[in-house]
Amino acid sequence: MKIALFGNPNTGKSSVFNMLTGLRQQVGNFPGVTVDKKQGSIQTPNGKHELIDFPGTYSFFARSLDEQVVKEVLNDSAHPDYPDAIIYVADAANLERNLLFFSQLYDLGFPIVLVLNMWDRAQQKGLQINLELLQQSFPDAQIVTTNARVSIGKTRITTALDALEKKERAPFLAFDRQQLQSDQAQTLNTNQRLEKIRALGLVQQRNTPAPNKSTRLDQILTHRIYGYLIFSLILLTIFQFIFSFASIPMDFIDGQFVRLSDWCSQVLPEGVLTRLIAQGLIPGIGGVLVFVPQIAILFFFIALLEESGYLSRVVFIMDRLMRPFGLNGKSVVPLLSSVACAIPGIMSARTITDWKERLITIFVAPFMSCSARIPVYTLLISVVIPKTYIGGIISLQGLVLFGLYLLGILFALGTALVLQFLVKNRTSGYHVMELPDYKNPRMSNVGYTVLEKVKVFITDAGKIIVAISILLWALATYGPSSRTAALKDLHQSQAFKNANETQKQELDNSLLLSQSYIGHFGKWMEPAIAPLGYDWKIGVALLSSFAAREVFVGSLATIYAVGEDSDGQKRLVHKLKEEKNERGKPTYSLATGASLLVFYVFAMQCMATLAVVKRETQTWKWPLLQLLFMGVVAYLSAFVVFQILV
Amino acid sequence: MLLLHMSQTLDAISLNELVEIAAISNDAIAPKLSEMGLTKGQKIKAIFKAPFGDPIAYEINGNVISMRKEEAMQVEVQMA
């Protein structure tokens, strides 16, 4: 049997899903749309069933993307996800409004289990629910009470599922889908339904409720000073983790893959296949896994904030600030996370329900200067920006670095501003939102979210990243047959004969890269990048750093035949400062350096971002548009900067 | 007394003042507002505001919901 899980947002629906399926769950997309579909299997006394978790919605009438998915599936009995039965999760402490959607599903005729979740909270609030009356009002529904946060009620649900029967039933209130198309008709039906539900008198307040603790907390957390202060502190903490602490597991993963690659080249027989595995495939997979710590950390925090109810307060206090840019408060977390890395940032844009706002957020996120740009920035700044202090205090180099970050942020917001007029709205945006009571986060739910995001990244984006990195590796490793002759010439040169073993290796690598396909391509495109102040060597570094921005530094190190260790970095800076072009002027002049810096602020230069955008928008259209747009902006601004400064 | 003939909208009520929903003037958002529980005759009050006074948080039937001012403006209310 195929069973669908429905319910309003904030009813603990995902707790119920996790309780029922445990680790037997996987995430995908509903066909053709970018709405998460979680699937799992559940075991009832009578058999095994498939459970599909639908997004939380308030009614059958669709406005947002999430709601459209729900409506489309329910309206089409031939849809692959069309359910045989429904589990409806309701917040027992908020029963009447939750019964609206339930009564609609009941009237559509589905065999249905009504789960009154958070039963304990209803009791705490002093609410008495007349279950007998509820059963009389919906005679064909199976009604159970649960408390999924502490895993109470699993067998009640599975037993109730087995007791379901499909039969004709009298509707709670006439519900003719064909006639309920207009806004007025929908409003009228909703109002009648709610009135009828309220008239049942299902809920009695036993004693006067204690003043809402959440509201008191909100006086501080949404305060115009403390609210922003606390949010900044939380953000700083998250940043500290993604920026600094994540580098520990990242370096570890990096190191392990380097060792694995070395081990493979030693153990496996010398040949093309071994090189492909040791230098192409293994580093490619390593290049995927290296993002896992940052993704896991960011989603750990986001899930924690969401579970606690705080995330909706962030949206509440940031909404007004983001609105001028066509974004809402939900864009804040994705955009700010992108300062560490756009990959988890873009993945976290899923929390934005409005498609247009989500798309704009995803589109502008890579303009935020991520941590992979830092090695490029610091190298170029130390080469072309003098180490002087303005007024004896402010470091000019630091000021330039700050300016680059600012440039990225301003451009991201500016692009969002323009895009809100260009992107068509698929759904009508409204911003009525529930502010759920604060709760203690349930750590197992947090764990499931982290696991799910990591899995999605590895399986969906990982394939693309590995494929592109193998391609780039092949282009940088192989070259036309003329290479052999060039290598022979090098080996006969006096400079090579005088060099020591390490230097020989470095000279070899430099020649092999410059004679590779990427090297030839770099030379071929030199006329195109000359107006930006770049020579073919920079062109090669640009091309190879499409894998990831920081590769720029490594590529230059290879081309100029200096090692990549910490001493190599110093030698590289020295070498770049000495480098002269054919007119005897320094290649890395202020104009060229500034032009390169600006280029790296704007250019996409990250295949992992492309892969993630493809995954999140379910089409190649958006990542390719983004690549093109960012490329054009980078090229033009680098051109302008160079021409002004030269 | 002078204002008696004028109906008030939800964005303009003061904090912690209990009012009753009279009508929702915008057809397009009416279905969404009603399914969040904002139907005629329901009691509602503003409980706190975001910095810059927008959006505003309201309490209705024990729930707290947040609305932008432009949305709250579509909800006509009267003194409870």
pLDDT exceeds cutoff 70 at A504: yes
C-beta atoms of B57 and A435 within 8 A? yes
C-beta atoms of B31 and A94 within 8 A? no
A127-129 and A203-205 as β-strands: parallel, antiparallel, unpaired?
Answer: antiparallel
> What is the CA A413 to chain-centroid distance, rounded?
18
User: What mean pLDDT, rounded, does chain A reach?
Assistant: 91
Residues in A touching B39 (Cβ below 8 Å): 190-191, 194-195
A85-91 and A2-7 as β-strands: parallel, antiparallel, unpaired?
Answer: parallel
Of A59, A191, A434, which has the smallest distance from its Cβ to B65's Cβ? Answer: A434
Q: Does B36 touch chain A (CB under 8 A)?
A: yes
Residues in A touching B62 (Cβ below 8 Å): 93-94, 125, 209
pLDDT exceeds cutoff 90 at A640: yes
DSSP letters of A527-573?
HHHGGGT--HHHHHHHHHTTS-TTHHHHHHHHHTT--SSHHHHHHHH
Percent of chain A topping pLDDT 70: 98
What pLDDT was estimated at residue A210? 67
Residue B51 DSSP class:
G
Residues in A touching B40 (Cβ below 8 Å): 191
Interface of A with B in 188-207 (CB under 8 A): 190-191, 194-195
What pLDDT was estimated at residue A428? 59
pLDDT digits (tens, 9 = 90+) for A386-438: 988 988 888 999 999 999 999 999 999 999 999 988 887 766 567 889 999 99
SS3 A24: coil
Report residue A201's pLDDT band, with 50, 70 and 90 as the boundaries: very high
How many Cα atoms are found within 13 Å in the side-chain-facing hemisphere of A233? 7
Amino acid in the structure at residue A288: V
What pLDDT was estimated at residue A106? 96
Catalogue all structural domains in chain A, each as residue range(s) with its CATH number: 2-205 (3.40.50.300), 461-645 (no CATH)
Asked if A286 and A335 count as a contact pair (C-beta separation under 8 A), the reply is no
What pLDDT was estimated at residue A330? 85
Percent of chain A topping pLDDT 90: 63
Please state the rounded mean pLDDT for residues A196-221: 86
Residue in chain A lying closest to B29 (CA): A430
Asked if A387 and A397 count as a contact pair (C-beta separation under 8 A), the reply is yes
C-beta atoms of A187 and B24 within 8 A? yes
Residue in chain A lying closest to B52 (CA): A320
Q: What value does the CA radius of gyration of chain B take, rounded to a whole number of Å?
A: 12
Would you kindly state where each structural domain of chain B is located, as residue ranges?
A: 2-79
pLDDT exceeds cutoff 50 at A259: yes
Q: CA A401, CA A403: separation in Å to the nearest integer?
A: 5
User: What mean pLDDT, rounded, does chain B reach?
Assistant: 88
Question: How close B21 comes to chain A (CA, Å)?
Answer: 13
Interface of A with B in 227-246 (CB under 8 A): 227-228
Residue recorded with tokens 């030269």: A646
> Cβ of A83: how many Cβ atoms within 10 Å?
24
Please state the rounded mean pLDDT for residues A263-271: 91
What pLDDT was estimated at residue A321? 92
Architecture of domain B2-79: Roll (2.30)
Residues in B touching A435 (Cβ below 8 Å): 57, 64-66
What pLDDT was estimated at residue A481? 84
What pLDDT was estimated at residue A565? 65
Which of A66, A91, A430 is the mutation pick for testing B, counting most B CBs within 10 A?
A: A430
Residues in A touching B31 (Cβ below 8 Å): 59, 61, 63, 183, 186-187, 190
What pLDDT was estimated at residue A475? 92
Model-level pTM? Answer: 0.89
Q: Does B39 touch chain A (CB under 8 A)?
A: yes
Report residue A633's pLDDT band, with 50, 70 and 90 as the boundaries: very high
pLDDT digits (tens, 9 = 90+) for A145-158: 999 888 899 999 99
pLDDT digits (tens, 9 = 90+) for A553-600: 988 888 888 866 667 778 888 889 988 888 888 999 999 999 999 999
pLDDT digits (tens, 9 = 90+) for A286-304: 989 999 999 999 999 999 9
How many Cα atoms are found within 13 Å in the side-chain-facing hemisphere of A318? 24
pLDDT exceeds cutoff 50 at A366: yes
Which of B10, B38, B66 is the mutation pick for testing A, counting most A CBs within 10 A?
A: B66
Closest by CA to A509, choosing from A540, A471, A470, is: A540
Residues in B touching A219 (Cβ below 8 Å): 48
Interface of A with B in 297-326 (CB under 8 A): 312, 315-317, 319-321
Residues in B touching A215 (Cβ below 8 Å): 47-48, 59, 64
How far are the Cα atoms of A27, A77, A111, A115 from residue A41, in angstroms, in the given order? 12, 21, 18, 18
Asked if A165 and A50 count as a contact pair (C-beta separation under 8 A), the reply is no
Question: How close A192 comes to chain B (CA, Å)?
Answer: 10
Residues in B touching A223 (Cβ below 8 Å): 51
Of A219, A431, A435, which has the smallest distance from its Cβ to B64's Cβ? Answer: A435
Amino acid in the structure at residue A620: W
Of A59, A209, A316, which has the smallest distance from its Cβ to B35's Cβ? Answer: A59
C-beta atoms of B36 and A434 within 8 A? yes
DSSP β-bridge partners for residue B45: B59
Amino acid in the structure at residue A617: T
Tokens standing for A303? Answer: 């899930």
Residues in B touching A195 (Cβ below 8 Å): 39
DSSP letters of A404-438?
HHHHHHHHHHHHHHHHHHHSPPSS-----EE-PPP
Please state the rounded mean pLDDT for residues A334-360: 89
What pLDDT was estimated at residue B1? 44
Least confident of A67-71, A93-97, A261-265, B3-7: B3-7
Phi, psi for B77 (deg, rounded to 5): -130, 165
Q: Does B24 touch chain A (CB under 8 A)?
A: yes
C-beta atoms of A184 and B67 within 8 A? no
What pLDDT was estimated at residue A426? 62
pLDDT digits (tens, 9 = 90+) for A9-49: 999 999 999 999 988 888 888 877 778 889 999 999 999 99
Which H or E run contains A53?
strand A47-53
Residue in chain B lying closest to A184 (CA): B27
How far are the Cα atoms of A322, A337, A371, B33 from residue A411, in angstroms, in the given order? 15, 16, 17, 36
Q: Does A136 touch chain B (CB under 8 A)?
A: no
Residue in chain B lying closest to A102 (CA): B35
Give A440-504 as a 3 state SS string: CCCHHHHHHHHHHHHHHHHHHHHHHHHHHHHHHHHHHHCCCCHHHHHHHHHHHCHHHHHCCHHHH
Residues in B touching A209 (Cβ below 8 Å): 62
Cα dihedral B27, B31, B34, B40 sign = positive
Q: Does A59 touch chain B (CB under 8 A)?
A: yes
Q: CA B47, CA A219: separation in Å to the nearest integer?
A: 9
Residue recorded with tokens 């499409």: A546
Residue in chain A lying closest to B37 (CA): A97
Residues in B touching A194 (Cβ below 8 Å): 34, 37, 39
Question: How close B4 comes to chain A (CA, Å)?
Answer: 27
SS3 A103: helix
Question: How close B46 comes to chain A (CA, Å)?
Answer: 11
Asked if A469 and A280 count as a contact pair (C-beta separation under 8 A), the reply is yes
CB-based contacts of A484-488 (< 8 A; 24+ apart in sequence): A486/A511, A486/A515, A487/A511, A487/A512, A487/A515
Residue in chain B lying closest to A193 (CA): B35
Q: Helix H segments across A108-170?
A: 119-124, 131-137, 154-162
Of A184, A214, A430, which has the smallest distance from its Cβ to B32's Cβ? Answer: A430
pLDDT exceeds cutoff 70 at A635: yes
Residues in A touching B67 (Cβ below 8 Å): 431-433
What pLDDT was estimated at residue B5? 46
Residues in A touching B50 (Cβ below 8 Å): 222, 316-317, 319-320
What pLDDT was estimated at residue A178? 84
What pLDDT was estimated at residue A351? 81
SS3 A642: helix
**Prediction ipTM score:** 0.93
What pLDDT was estimated at residue A373? 92
Q: CA A109, CA A439: separation in Å to the nearest integer?
A: 35
Closest by CA to A235, choosing from A325, A322, A321, A318, is: A318
C-beta atoms of B31 and A228 within 8 A? no
